[in-house]
Structure 1
Amino acid sequence: QLPGLEGHLPVTAGPSANSGYPLDAQWRAVRDRALKGDTEAVALLAFRESLPSSTTCCDTITATRFLRARKGNVALAVMMYSTCAAWRSSERVDDVISEPTGPSEQALAAAFSPKLLNATDKHGRPIWFISLGEMDVSALAKQGITLHMLIRRHVRLSEQMRIAVERSKEPLQGHLLVQDIGACSVMKFLRSRQFFKAQAQISQDYYPELLGQLLILKGPPAAKWAVETSKKFLDKDTASKIRLECGSSRGALLEYVSESVAEELLALLGESTSGSSSK
């Protein structure tokens, strides 16, 4: 498992392991809502009935995420989910969490090492912290780290995020992702642009509505250009969930989390936790 995940997540990573209730019970509840005139429930039932026979039905939370990602359009949601199911099969995504790590794990971890906090934000969402300061695809290539390895690690992280969100009290709220880009530079971003583009595409196409809020902290002067460039790879709804903060990390964090959680995140950011604003 990735650092910070021990004790938080189940061993299994199947796409229907979210609510703890059997699938039949979940869908019966949806039918009850539909009978009472709930339009989203009606669309969910249509989504389920429209899935190809070759595509395994999912749980209701996953179905809702895909339906909302396509603004309630059942046909588009079915197409999106079917494409995702085919991708999961071809890429062996259900095996990614249990895959053994190789000799390059230390270099990979230094560049891309997420941490799941044992806490939630003010909306009850799981909180993830990632430092991207060492993400430099060209430099990592010299250590034997390929783009494929980085993307595979991102898929593993996405699975861990998905499971954490599905185990939360309000899974449709997504998660809060805090990114530290203080050690990033324009040149590192440009050399790693292919990875960031692939990362954004995977998250958007195969893990829709999983992101509740992305808070990017310690942005250097050129960060606004890099973030705006990255947003071009995303749809407008996803892009609207991204916030860049180049000033006080403490002030931004306290809008989303409690004082104690903010202190923990500030420590991870390497900033003062004395109570004064970090610049």
Structure 2
Amino acid sequence: MGVSNEDAIKQFQSLMEVVDEPLKQTFKNMHQGYPTETLARFLKAREWNVHKAHKMLVDCLNWRVQNEIDNILAKPIIPTDLYKAIRDSQLIGLSGFSREGLPVIAVGVGLSTFDKASVHYYVQSHIQMNEYRDRVILPIASKNHERPISTCIKVLDMTGLKLSALNQIKILSVISTIDDLNYPEKTETYYVVNAPYVFSACWKVVKPLLQERTRRKIQVLQGCGRDELLKVMEYASLPHFCKREGSGSSRHSRNGTMTENCFSSDHHFHQQLYNYIKEQAASRPSLLPIKQGSFHVAFPEPDPKDAKIAETIETELHRLEDLDGLDKLL
């Protein structure tokens, strides 16, 4: 017989009281004053099995200590031109907040190329945005709404998704595994918009492989999803690619200024993030890189189920690629 959620959290708390001091310190940086909510996230990720959740969290804390994740917000990507190149090829940004106060994270899945730097820079950039979200954005949102806010909404733009996405599976798998193991249950809902045929074909074969908990979070919307998204956020918080049918997710906004495009390095979110990292680095000069170089983070081994999903996507893309080639010959 399983224990109640409340009892599970109490058991988890007791186990965490005896972990080593370095792990307690990095856990404090993680939970930002909301330890119970953090424990609950790890319990949800392990179906409320206390021992599995405890192992997951301890592994996560060890990963943070060994890879100096607590210091990653003092490790700027330099020079600035390289940072801008990464922003142009790893399309992600904060477009606003939902009506309930959750950050709205926009992701340009289809047009992200990940071809301007090594995988280590993209992983560094991704973790920095995770940490900035968790250590700066969410605590401010929690304070403004006078309640714990520990999750976000993600709007995934599939504009431009092509069979060449096969080349990105490796890096996307690395980033996904880091999120699954170290930032579990941080996304309330995934909204998929502007989905082309190639996504629909992959989704059909991948959906049955996902856990029911994950499937419930994913909503595939018609077109740019504007009308459905307006039910959960104000128009001003819509990502730029959702504000008009067919607008697409452009690296250089066709439907407004660069500052309206939340993927652009000129957008206020990325300006604030980069300035914050530079300020943190300046306040701790001993952490400044001596020369240009990415902050290497150890890549965790993917869960066998996640590896199976990546393999399935790769197989389906190969199949579609073969069919596309055959169509061109006929």
TM-score normalised to structure 1 length: 0.70
Is 1:182 aligned with 2:148? no
Q: Distance in 1 between matches of 2:75 and 2:202?
A: 32
Other-structure match for 2:300:
none
Q: Distance in 1 between matches of 2:243 and 2:62?
A: 41
Is 1:152 aligned with 2:129? no
Contact 1:67 1:74 in 2 (8 A): yes
Q: Distance in 1 between matches of 2:138 and 2:67?
A: 22
Identity of aligned pairs, percent? 20
Contact 1:216 1:243 in 2 (8 A): yes
Other-structure match for 1:215:
191
Deviation at 1:256, TM superposition (A): 2.4
Other-structure match for 2:214:
238
Contact 1:215 1:242 in 2 (8 A): yes
**3-state secondary structure, aligned to 2:172:** helix
Is 1:44 aligned with 2:5? no
Shift of the 107–207 alpha-carbon distance from structure 1 to 2, 3 Å rule, reads same
Which of 235, 246, 249 matches 2:225? 249
Which of 42, 46, 68 matches 1:92? 68
Question: Alignment length, in residue pairs?
Answer: 229
Shift of the 266–53 alpha-carbon distance from structure 1 to 2, 3 Å rule, reads closer
Write the deviation string for residues 198-235 of structure 1: whole angstroms up to 9, x where unpaired.
Answer: 12211111111111011121112211234456668864
Q: Which amino acid aligns with 1:174?
A: T
Contact 1:197 1:233 in 2 (8 A): no
Shift of the 223–171 alpha-carbon distance from structure 1 to 2, 3 Å rule, reads farther
Q: Distance in 2 between matches of 1:230 and 1:162?
A: 29
Is 1:195 aligned with 2:195? no
Contact 2:193 2:225 in 1 (8 A): yes
Write the deviation string for residues 50-98 of structure 1: whole angstroms up to 9, x where unpaired.
Answer: 1343231552221121122222221111101001001111222112222
Other-structure match for 2:141:
168
Q: Which amino acid aligns with 2:122?
A: L
Which of 81, 92, 95 matches 1:114? 92
Q: Distance in 1 between matches of 2:139 and 2:206?
A: 27
More relative contact order, 1 or 2 (CA 8 Å, 6+ apart): 2
Deviation at 1:39, TM superposition (A): 4.1
Contact 2:158 2:195 in 1 (8 A): yes
Contact 2:224 2:242 in 1 (8 A): no
**3-state secondary structure, aligned to 1:247:** coil
Contact 2:111 2:159 in 1 (8 A): no
**3-state secondary structure, aligned to 1:222:** helix
Q: Which amino acid aligns with 1:168?
A: A
Shift of the 83–228 alpha-carbon distance from structure 1 to 2, 3 Å rule, reads farther
Other-structure match for 1:72:
48
Task: Report which of the two has the higher share of helix.
Answer: 2
TM-score normalised to structure 2 length: 0.60
